Amino acid sequence: MAWSGNNRTWGVPWLGLPLSGVLALTGAAHSVWTLDFGRPESASAARATAIAAAAAVDLPPRLPDRTAELRSGETLSSVLLRLGLGAEEAHAASLAAARHVDLRQLRAGTPWRAYLAADGSLESFAMVLAGRGELAVERAAHGWIPRWSAFARDSRTRAVQGRLEGALEASVARAGATPELAYLLAEVLQWDLDFTRDLRRGDEFRVLFEELLVEGYEPRPERVLAVSYGQPGGRKIEAYLFGEGEVAGYYDGEGRPLQKLFLRSPLPYSRVTSGFTHRRFHPVLGGYRPHYGVDYGAPVGTPVRVTAAGTVVSAGWSGGGGKTVKVRHANGYLSAYLHLSRFASGIRAGGRVRQGDVIGYVGATGLATGPHLDYRVQLDGRWINPLTIASVPAVPIPTQRRAEFAALRDSMRASLETGRFDASPAAVLAQSEARPSHPPGAAIAASGRKR
Protein backbone atom coordinates (compact mmCIF):
# COMPACT_ATOMS: atom_id res chain seq x y z
CA MET A 1 0.00 0.00 0.00
CA ALA A 2 1.70 3.17 -1.17
CA TRP A 3 0.79 6.43 -2.83
CA SER A 4 3.08 8.80 -4.65
CA GLY A 5 3.13 11.60 -7.15
CA ASN A 6 3.66 11.36 -10.85
CA ASN A 7 7.21 10.17 -11.50
CA ARG A 8 7.98 10.98 -15.12
CA THR A 9 11.45 10.16 -16.41
CA TRP A 10 13.50 11.18 -19.39
CA GLY A 11 16.34 9.46 -21.23
CA VAL A 12 19.82 10.88 -21.76
CA PRO A 13 19.88 12.34 -25.29
CA TRP A 14 23.60 12.91 -25.78
CA LEU A 15 24.30 10.71 -28.79
CA GLY A 16 22.38 12.97 -31.15
CA LEU A 17 21.89 16.70 -31.21
CA PRO A 18 19.96 18.13 -28.22
CA LEU A 19 16.22 17.80 -28.15
CA SER A 20 13.92 20.79 -28.38
CA GLY A 21 10.34 21.01 -27.32
CA VAL A 22 8.27 21.60 -24.23
CA LEU A 23 8.76 20.11 -20.78
CA ALA A 24 5.42 20.11 -18.97
CA LEU A 25 5.69 19.99 -15.18
CA THR A 26 2.97 20.41 -12.59
CA GLY A 27 0.59 22.07 -14.99
CA ALA A 28 3.04 24.68 -16.31
CA ALA A 29 4.93 24.59 -19.61
CA HIS A 30 8.65 25.41 -19.73
CA SER A 31 10.79 25.50 -22.85
CA VAL A 32 13.63 23.00 -23.19
CA TRP A 33 17.14 24.14 -24.00
CA THR A 34 18.42 23.87 -27.54
CA LEU A 35 21.90 24.05 -28.95
CA ASP A 36 22.38 25.69 -32.36
CA PHE A 37 25.81 25.13 -33.83
CA GLY A 38 24.99 27.48 -36.72
CA ARG A 39 26.89 27.27 -40.00
CA PRO A 40 30.68 26.94 -39.67
CA GLU A 41 32.35 29.81 -41.47
CA SER A 42 34.86 27.43 -43.05
CA ALA A 43 32.18 25.26 -44.73
CA SER A 44 32.01 25.27 -48.49
CA ALA A 45 29.14 26.84 -50.44
CA ALA A 46 27.94 23.36 -51.39
CA ARG A 47 27.74 22.33 -47.74
CA ALA A 48 25.84 25.53 -46.86
CA THR A 49 23.33 24.75 -49.60
CA ALA A 50 22.90 21.21 -48.26
CA ILE A 51 22.24 22.49 -44.73
CA ALA A 52 19.63 24.93 -46.01
CA ALA A 53 17.94 22.22 -48.06
CA ALA A 54 17.83 19.85 -45.08
CA ALA A 55 16.19 22.54 -42.95
CA ALA A 56 13.64 23.25 -45.66
CA VAL A 57 12.41 19.65 -45.76
CA ASP A 58 12.79 19.12 -41.98
CA LEU A 59 15.38 16.33 -42.26
CA PRO A 60 16.73 14.70 -39.08
CA PRO A 61 19.66 16.57 -37.42
CA ARG A 62 23.14 15.62 -38.50
CA LEU A 63 24.64 12.69 -36.63
CA PRO A 64 28.10 13.08 -35.06
CA ASP A 65 31.09 11.57 -36.83
CA ARG A 66 32.77 10.45 -33.61
CA THR A 67 31.39 9.74 -30.13
CA ALA A 68 33.12 8.57 -26.95
CA GLU A 69 33.60 9.37 -23.27
CA LEU A 70 36.46 11.06 -21.44
CA ARG A 71 38.92 8.47 -20.20
CA SER A 72 40.49 8.51 -16.76
CA GLY A 73 43.20 11.19 -16.70
CA GLU A 74 42.18 12.59 -20.08
CA THR A 75 41.75 16.33 -20.66
CA LEU A 76 39.85 18.29 -23.28
CA SER A 77 43.13 19.25 -24.96
CA SER A 78 44.25 15.63 -25.21
CA VAL A 79 40.95 14.63 -26.83
CA LEU A 80 41.22 17.45 -29.34
CA LEU A 81 44.79 16.41 -30.17
CA ARG A 82 43.56 12.87 -30.72
CA LEU A 83 40.94 14.25 -33.13
CA GLY A 84 43.67 15.78 -35.27
CA LEU A 85 44.09 19.34 -34.00
CA GLY A 86 47.58 20.76 -33.65
CA ALA A 87 48.87 21.77 -30.24
CA GLU A 88 48.15 25.49 -30.77
CA GLU A 89 44.63 24.87 -32.07
CA ALA A 90 43.82 22.45 -29.27
CA HIS A 91 45.02 25.03 -26.75
CA ALA A 92 42.94 27.78 -28.38
CA ALA A 93 39.79 25.61 -28.44
CA SER A 94 40.32 24.67 -24.78
CA LEU A 95 40.72 28.33 -23.79
CA ALA A 96 37.46 29.11 -25.58
CA ALA A 97 35.66 26.30 -23.72
CA ALA A 98 37.11 27.49 -20.41
CA ARG A 99 35.05 30.69 -20.69
CA HIS A 100 32.01 28.65 -19.63
CA VAL A 101 33.36 25.62 -17.74
CA ASP A 102 36.21 24.94 -15.32
CA LEU A 103 37.99 22.27 -17.36
CA ARG A 104 39.72 20.95 -14.25
CA GLN A 105 36.34 19.67 -13.06
CA LEU A 106 35.70 17.46 -16.10
CA ARG A 107 35.22 13.86 -15.01
CA ALA A 108 35.99 10.53 -16.62
CA GLY A 109 32.88 9.18 -18.32
CA THR A 110 31.75 12.59 -19.64
CA PRO A 111 30.25 11.88 -23.10
CA TRP A 112 31.46 13.86 -26.11
CA ARG A 113 30.81 13.96 -29.82
CA ALA A 114 32.75 15.41 -32.75
CA TYR A 115 31.68 16.66 -36.18
CA LEU A 116 34.19 16.52 -39.02
CA ALA A 117 34.45 18.46 -42.27
CA ALA A 118 34.70 16.75 -45.66
CA ASP A 119 38.49 16.74 -45.46
CA GLY A 120 38.40 15.01 -42.07
CA SER A 121 39.34 18.06 -40.00
CA LEU A 122 37.46 18.86 -36.80
CA GLU A 123 34.58 21.25 -37.40
CA SER A 124 32.86 21.28 -34.01
CA PHE A 125 33.02 19.43 -30.69
CA ALA A 126 30.41 19.08 -27.93
CA MET A 127 30.18 17.42 -24.52
CA VAL A 128 27.35 16.93 -22.03
CA LEU A 129 28.07 17.84 -18.40
CA ALA A 130 25.78 15.73 -16.25
CA GLY A 131 23.00 17.72 -14.66
CA ARG A 132 24.33 21.06 -15.90
CA GLY A 133 24.22 21.54 -19.66
CA GLU A 134 26.05 21.14 -22.94
CA LEU A 135 29.32 22.77 -23.95
CA ALA A 136 30.39 23.11 -27.58
CA VAL A 137 33.28 24.70 -29.47
CA GLU A 138 32.96 25.48 -33.16
CA ARG A 139 35.61 26.32 -35.73
CA ALA A 140 35.34 29.86 -37.12
CA ALA A 141 37.44 31.91 -39.53
CA HIS A 142 39.49 33.49 -36.75
CA GLY A 143 39.54 30.85 -34.02
CA TRP A 144 37.06 28.81 -32.00
CA ILE A 145 33.64 29.95 -30.80
CA PRO A 146 32.32 28.45 -27.53
CA ARG A 147 28.63 27.82 -26.93
CA TRP A 148 26.96 26.89 -23.63
CA SER A 149 23.39 25.61 -23.30
CA ALA A 150 22.20 25.08 -19.73
CA PHE A 151 19.69 22.32 -19.09
CA ALA A 152 16.21 23.38 -18.06
CA ARG A 153 15.91 22.86 -14.29
CA ASP A 154 12.74 22.69 -12.23
CA SER A 155 11.70 21.32 -8.89
CA ARG A 156 8.44 19.94 -7.59
CA THR A 157 7.19 18.92 -4.19
CA ARG A 158 6.16 15.28 -3.75
CA ALA A 159 4.94 13.04 -0.95
CA VAL A 160 5.31 9.27 -0.59
CA GLN A 161 4.48 6.74 2.09
CA GLY A 162 5.32 3.09 2.58
CA ARG A 163 6.41 0.32 4.92
CA LEU A 164 9.84 -1.12 5.57
CA GLU A 165 10.09 -4.54 3.96
CA GLY A 166 13.74 -5.46 3.59
CA ALA A 167 16.26 -2.74 2.73
CA LEU A 168 15.23 0.89 3.18
CA GLU A 169 16.33 1.74 -0.39
CA ALA A 170 14.07 -0.96 -1.85
CA SER A 171 11.17 0.06 0.39
CA VAL A 172 11.48 3.68 -0.70
CA ALA A 173 11.57 2.59 -4.35
CA ARG A 174 8.39 0.53 -3.87
CA ALA A 175 6.73 3.65 -2.41
CA GLY A 176 7.37 5.48 -5.69
CA ALA A 177 10.59 7.43 -5.09
CA THR A 178 14.17 6.79 -6.20
CA PRO A 179 16.48 4.91 -3.80
CA GLU A 180 18.47 8.14 -3.30
CA LEU A 181 15.69 9.33 -1.01
CA ALA A 182 16.71 6.65 1.50
CA TYR A 183 20.13 8.28 1.89
CA LEU A 184 18.56 11.69 2.43
CA LEU A 185 16.34 10.17 5.12
CA ALA A 186 19.40 8.67 6.79
CA GLU A 187 20.99 12.14 6.92
CA VAL A 188 17.87 13.75 8.39
CA LEU A 189 17.29 11.09 11.07
CA GLN A 190 20.93 10.27 11.84
CA TRP A 191 20.76 11.72 15.37
CA ASP A 192 17.71 9.67 16.44
CA LEU A 193 17.96 6.47 14.39
CA ASP A 194 20.88 4.08 14.21
CA PHE A 195 20.27 2.58 10.78
CA THR A 196 22.30 -0.48 11.75
CA ARG A 197 20.14 -1.36 14.81
CA ASP A 198 16.88 0.61 15.00
CA LEU A 199 15.06 -0.25 11.77
CA ARG A 200 12.29 -2.83 12.09
CA ARG A 201 10.26 -4.67 9.47
CA GLY A 202 6.85 -3.04 9.24
CA ASP A 203 8.11 0.46 10.15
CA GLU A 204 5.98 3.09 8.44
CA PHE A 205 7.47 6.13 6.73
CA ARG A 206 5.88 9.20 5.21
CA VAL A 207 8.10 11.68 3.40
CA LEU A 208 7.52 15.12 1.92
CA PHE A 209 10.41 16.15 -0.31
CA GLU A 210 11.53 18.37 -3.17
CA GLU A 211 12.50 16.62 -6.38
CA LEU A 212 14.94 18.13 -8.87
CA LEU A 213 14.05 17.84 -12.55
CA VAL A 214 16.83 18.37 -15.06
CA GLU A 215 16.05 18.01 -18.75
CA GLY A 216 17.38 14.76 -20.14
CA TYR A 217 17.75 13.06 -16.75
CA GLU A 218 15.56 11.13 -14.36
CA PRO A 219 14.11 13.13 -11.45
CA ARG A 220 16.11 12.89 -8.24
CA PRO A 221 15.28 13.96 -4.68
CA GLU A 222 16.98 17.18 -3.65
CA ARG A 223 15.98 17.75 -0.02
CA VAL A 224 13.55 16.38 2.56
CA LEU A 225 10.95 18.85 3.81
CA ALA A 226 9.27 16.62 6.40
CA VAL A 227 9.30 12.99 7.50
CA SER A 228 7.46 10.73 9.92
CA TYR A 229 9.01 7.34 10.78
CA GLY A 230 8.13 4.61 13.26
CA GLN A 231 6.16 1.50 14.12
CA PRO A 232 2.38 1.50 13.50
CA GLY A 233 0.68 2.58 16.72
CA GLY A 234 4.05 3.26 18.36
CA ARG A 235 6.38 6.21 18.79
CA LYS A 236 6.94 8.20 15.64
CA ILE A 237 10.00 10.28 14.89
CA GLU A 238 9.01 13.51 13.17
CA ALA A 239 11.29 15.96 11.38
CA TYR A 240 10.41 19.29 9.77
CA LEU A 241 12.81 21.53 7.86
CA PHE A 242 12.66 25.07 9.18
CA GLY A 243 14.80 28.19 8.80
CA GLU A 244 16.84 29.69 6.00
CA GLY A 245 20.28 29.51 4.47
CA GLU A 246 23.05 27.89 6.48
CA VAL A 247 21.03 28.04 9.70
CA ALA A 248 18.21 25.90 8.31
CA GLY A 249 17.72 22.71 10.30
CA TYR A 250 15.35 19.89 11.18
CA TYR A 251 13.09 20.02 14.23
CA ASP A 252 10.70 17.55 15.81
CA GLY A 253 6.99 18.18 16.28
CA GLU A 254 7.61 20.18 19.45
CA GLY A 255 10.18 22.45 17.84
CA ARG A 256 13.19 20.72 19.40
CA PRO A 257 16.24 20.41 17.11
CA LEU A 258 17.05 16.95 15.81
CA GLN A 259 20.77 17.67 15.69
CA LYS A 260 22.56 16.38 18.78
CA LEU A 261 26.12 16.45 20.08
CA PHE A 262 26.74 12.90 18.77
CA LEU A 263 25.47 10.96 15.76
CA ARG A 264 23.94 7.62 16.60
CA SER A 265 26.49 5.80 14.44
CA PRO A 266 29.69 6.56 12.48
CA LEU A 267 28.39 4.43 9.58
CA PRO A 268 24.99 5.21 8.04
CA TYR A 269 24.47 1.60 6.90
CA SER A 270 26.16 -1.32 8.62
CA ARG A 271 25.62 -4.00 11.27
CA VAL A 272 26.89 -4.33 14.84
CA THR A 273 29.09 -7.42 15.04
CA SER A 274 30.37 -6.98 18.59
CA GLY A 275 29.28 -4.77 21.46
CA PHE A 276 30.86 -2.94 24.39
CA THR A 277 31.81 -5.35 27.16
CA HIS A 278 34.31 -5.81 29.97
CA ARG A 279 34.86 -9.48 29.06
CA ARG A 280 35.09 -10.77 25.50
CA PHE A 281 37.10 -13.60 23.98
CA HIS A 282 39.69 -11.96 21.73
CA PRO A 283 39.52 -13.51 18.23
CA VAL A 284 43.24 -12.90 17.51
CA LEU A 285 45.09 -12.93 20.84
CA GLY A 286 42.85 -15.45 22.55
CA GLY A 287 41.74 -15.22 26.17
CA TYR A 288 39.13 -12.92 27.66
CA ARG A 289 39.73 -9.20 27.55
CA PRO A 290 37.65 -6.01 27.77
CA HIS A 291 36.27 -4.67 24.49
CA TYR A 292 35.77 -0.95 25.00
CA GLY A 293 34.08 -0.28 21.68
CA VAL A 294 31.34 -1.27 19.27
CA ASP A 295 32.32 -3.16 16.13
CA TYR A 296 30.51 -2.40 12.87
CA GLY A 297 30.93 -4.85 10.02
CA ALA A 298 31.27 -3.16 6.63
CA PRO A 299 33.19 -3.60 3.37
CA VAL A 300 36.70 -2.22 3.01
CA GLY A 301 36.55 1.38 1.82
CA THR A 302 33.22 2.28 3.46
CA PRO A 303 33.42 5.97 4.53
CA VAL A 304 33.62 6.54 8.30
CA ARG A 305 32.01 9.72 9.68
CA VAL A 306 33.15 11.54 12.80
CA THR A 307 30.19 11.47 15.20
CA ALA A 308 30.72 14.93 16.69
CA ALA A 309 32.55 18.14 15.87
CA GLY A 310 35.99 18.47 17.39
CA THR A 311 39.77 18.50 16.93
CA VAL A 312 41.82 15.58 15.62
CA VAL A 313 44.17 14.41 18.37
CA SER A 314 46.00 11.83 16.26
CA ALA A 315 45.78 10.04 12.94
CA GLY A 316 48.26 7.19 12.61
CA TRP A 317 49.18 3.66 13.59
CA SER A 318 48.01 2.64 17.06
CA GLY A 319 49.25 -0.88 17.87
CA GLY A 320 46.50 -3.48 17.65
CA GLY A 321 44.07 -0.80 16.52
CA GLY A 322 45.98 -0.38 13.27
CA LYS A 323 45.31 2.88 11.48
CA THR A 324 43.35 4.92 14.01
CA VAL A 325 41.88 8.41 14.24
CA LYS A 326 41.17 10.02 17.61
CA VAL A 327 39.08 13.18 17.93
CA ARG A 328 38.59 15.37 21.02
CA HIS A 329 35.11 16.88 21.50
CA ALA A 330 33.44 19.32 23.86
CA ASN A 331 32.45 18.43 27.44
CA GLY A 332 35.30 15.95 28.00
CA TYR A 333 34.47 13.49 25.20
CA LEU A 334 36.97 11.74 22.91
CA SER A 335 36.07 9.33 20.08
CA ALA A 336 38.33 6.77 18.38
CA TYR A 337 38.00 4.95 15.05
CA LEU A 338 40.16 1.82 14.72
CA HIS A 339 41.29 -0.61 11.98
CA LEU A 340 40.92 1.91 9.14
CA SER A 341 42.26 1.07 5.69
CA ARG A 342 43.27 4.69 5.09
CA PHE A 343 42.66 8.22 6.31
CA ALA A 344 40.53 10.78 4.53
CA SER A 345 42.32 13.63 2.75
CA GLY A 346 43.40 16.40 5.13
CA ILE A 347 42.90 14.40 8.35
CA ARG A 348 45.87 15.12 10.60
CA ALA A 349 46.57 16.02 14.22
CA GLY A 350 45.34 19.51 15.14
CA GLY A 351 42.81 19.74 12.31
CA ARG A 352 39.18 20.67 12.96
CA VAL A 353 36.36 18.40 11.83
CA ARG A 354 32.62 18.97 11.65
CA GLN A 355 30.03 16.43 12.68
CA GLY A 356 29.50 14.00 9.81
CA ASP A 357 32.83 14.69 8.07
CA VAL A 358 34.48 11.61 6.57
CA ILE A 359 37.70 10.98 8.49
CA GLY A 360 38.69 7.58 7.09
CA TYR A 361 37.61 4.34 5.49
CA VAL A 362 36.79 0.92 6.90
CA GLY A 363 39.65 -1.60 6.79
CA ALA A 364 41.22 -4.50 8.67
CA THR A 365 44.55 -3.06 9.84
CA GLY A 366 46.07 -4.05 13.18
CA LEU A 367 44.67 -7.04 15.09
CA ALA A 368 41.56 -7.68 13.01
CA THR A 369 40.18 -10.87 11.51
CA GLY A 370 38.21 -9.05 8.83
CA PRO A 371 37.10 -5.61 7.67
CA HIS A 372 35.20 -3.68 10.32
CA LEU A 373 35.21 -0.44 12.31
CA ASP A 374 35.91 -0.49 16.05
CA TYR A 375 34.25 2.70 17.34
CA ARG A 376 35.09 3.88 20.87
CA VAL A 377 34.20 6.84 23.09
CA GLN A 378 35.84 8.19 26.25
CA LEU A 379 34.29 10.56 28.78
CA ASP A 380 36.79 12.28 31.07
CA GLY A 381 39.39 9.60 30.28
CA ARG A 382 37.09 6.60 30.92
CA TRP A 383 35.79 4.36 28.14
CA ILE A 384 31.99 4.32 27.90
CA ASN A 385 29.48 2.45 25.77
CA PRO A 386 28.91 4.62 22.66
CA LEU A 387 25.37 3.29 22.30
CA THR A 388 24.33 4.74 25.66
CA ILE A 389 25.45 8.35 25.12
CA ALA A 390 22.70 10.77 26.14
CA SER A 391 22.96 13.38 23.41
CA VAL A 392 22.46 17.05 24.16
CA PRO A 393 20.29 18.80 21.54
CA ALA A 394 21.31 21.94 19.67
CA VAL A 395 19.77 25.39 20.22
CA PRO A 396 15.94 25.31 19.99
CA ILE A 397 13.74 27.58 17.87
CA PRO A 398 13.59 31.13 19.27
CA THR A 399 10.33 31.95 21.08
CA GLN A 400 9.42 34.69 18.60
CA ARG A 401 9.49 32.19 15.71
CA ARG A 402 7.59 29.31 17.30
CA ALA A 403 4.22 30.39 15.86
CA GLU A 404 5.82 30.48 12.42
CA PHE A 405 7.20 26.99 12.96
CA ALA A 406 3.82 25.71 14.19
CA ALA A 407 2.13 26.88 10.98
CA LEU A 408 4.78 25.11 8.90
CA ARG A 409 4.54 21.92 10.97
CA ASP A 410 0.75 21.77 10.77
CA SER A 411 0.80 22.22 7.00
CA MET A 412 3.46 19.60 6.45
CA ARG A 413 1.95 17.17 8.95
CA ALA A 414 -1.36 17.31 7.08
CA SER A 415 0.46 16.66 3.80
CA LEU A 416 2.27 13.65 5.31
CA GLU A 417 -1.05 12.18 6.42
CA THR A 418 -3.04 12.76 3.25
CA GLY A 419 -0.54 13.10 0.44
CA ARG A 420 -2.33 16.32 -0.55
CA PHE A 421 -1.28 19.91 -0.15
CA ASP A 422 -4.30 21.77 1.20
CA ALA A 423 -1.91 24.63 1.92
CA SER A 424 1.36 24.20 0.06
CA PRO A 425 4.11 23.22 2.56
CA ALA A 426 6.69 24.54 0.12
CA ALA A 427 4.92 27.90 0.20
CA VAL A 428 4.92 28.00 3.99
CA LEU A 429 8.60 27.10 4.05
CA ALA A 430 9.25 29.75 1.42
CA GLN A 431 7.85 32.41 3.73
CA SER A 432 10.44 31.53 6.35
CA GLU A 433 13.15 31.61 3.66
CA ALA A 434 11.89 34.79 1.95
CA ARG A 435 11.41 32.81 -1.26
CA PRO A 436 8.51 33.27 -3.73
CA SER A 437 5.54 31.26 -2.48
CA HIS A 438 3.74 28.62 -4.50
CA PRO A 439 -0.06 28.50 -4.86
CA PRO A 440 -1.97 25.80 -3.03
CA GLY A 441 -2.04 22.74 -5.27
CA ALA A 442 -3.83 19.46 -5.77
CA ALA A 443 -2.33 16.08 -5.02
CA ILE A 444 1.37 15.26 -4.76
CA ALA A 445 3.13 17.44 -7.38
CA ALA A 446 1.57 20.57 -6.03
CA SER A 447 4.36 23.02 -6.57
CA GLY A 448 7.12 23.62 -9.07
CA ARG A 449 9.58 26.37 -9.84
CA LYS A 450 12.11 26.94 -12.55
CA ARG A 451 15.75 26.94 -11.55
pLDDT of residue 2: 42
Question: What average pLDDT does the segment 312-324 reach?
Answer: 93
Question: What average pLDDT does the segment 374-403 reach?
Answer: 83
Sign of CA dihedral 423, 429, 431, 436: negative
pLDDT of residue 417: 87
Range from 270-284, 289-303, 398-412 carrying the lowest mean pLDDT:
270-284
pLDDT of residue 142: 87
User: What's the whole-model pTM score?
Assistant: 0.54
More confident residue, 246 or 441: 246
pLDDT of residue 247: 57
User: Where does the pLDDT of residue 357 fall: very low under 50, low under 70, confident under 90, or very high at 90 and above?
Assistant: very high
User: Where does the pLDDT of residue 18 fall: very low under 50, low under 70, confident under 90, or very high at 90 and above?
Assistant: very low
Q: Is pLDDT of 416 > 80? A: yes
More confident residue, 174 or 399: 174
Q: Is pLDDT of 138 > 90? A: yes
pLDDT of residue 260: 81
C-alpha 443/C-alpha 6 separation (Å) is: 10
Range from 20-29, 47-56, 169-178, 294-303 carrying the lowest mean pLDDT:
20-29
DSSP conformation class of 105: G
More confident residue, 324 or 287: 324
Q: Is pLDDT of 444 > 80? A: no
Q: Is pLDDT of 106 > 80? A: yes
In angstroms, how far is the first alpha carbon of the chain from the final one?
33
pLDDT above 90: percentage of residues in the chain: 38
Question: Tens digits of per-residue pLDDT, 109-132?
Answer: 999 999 999 999 999 999 988 878
pLDDT of residue 399: 84
pLDDT of residue 278: 64
Strands 220-230 and 236-242: antiparallel
C-alpha 193/C-alpha 283 separation (Å) is: 30
Residue 380 three-state SS:
coil
User: Where does the pLDDT of residue 393 fall: very low under 50, low under 70, confident under 90, or very high at 90 and above?
Assistant: low
User: Where does the pLDDT of residue 441 fall: very low under 50, low under 70, confident under 90, or very high at 90 and above?
Assistant: very low
Phi, psi of 158 (to 5 degrees): -130, 160
pLDDT of residue 145: 92
pLDDT of residue 284: 58
Q: Is pLDDT of 410 > 60? A: yes
Question: What average pLDDT does the segment 173-199 reach?
Answer: 86
Range from 178-192, 368-382, 394-408 carrying the lowest mean pLDDT:
394-408
pLDDT of residue 13: 32
C-alpha 189/C-alpha 231 separation (Å) is: 15
Q: How many residues does the chain have?
A: 451
pLDDT of residue 280: 63
Q: Is pLDDT of 325 > 90? A: yes
Q: What's the Cα-to-Cα distance from 334 to each of 29, 174, 191, 382, rounded to whole Å?
A: 55, 41, 18, 10
* Domains identified in the chain and CATH numbers: 34-150 (3.10.450.350), 154-259+396-450 (3.10.450.350), 271-388 (2.70.70.10)
pLDDT above 70: percentage of residues in the chain: 74
Q: Is pLDDT of 246 > 60? A: no
pLDDT of residue 279: 60
Among 151, 101, 117, 103, which Cα is nearest to 42's? 117
pLDDT of residue 439: 29
Render 165-190 in DSSP notation, one character per residue. Answer: -S-HHHHHHHTTS-THHHHHHHHHTT
pLDDT of residue 390: 65
C-alpha 161/C-alpha 309 separation (Å) is: 33
User: Where does the pLDDT of residue 285 fall: very low under 50, low under 70, confident under 90, or very high at 90 and above?
Assistant: low
Q: Is pLDDT of 395 > 80? A: no
Among 1, 277, 318, 22, which Cα is nearest to 164's? 1
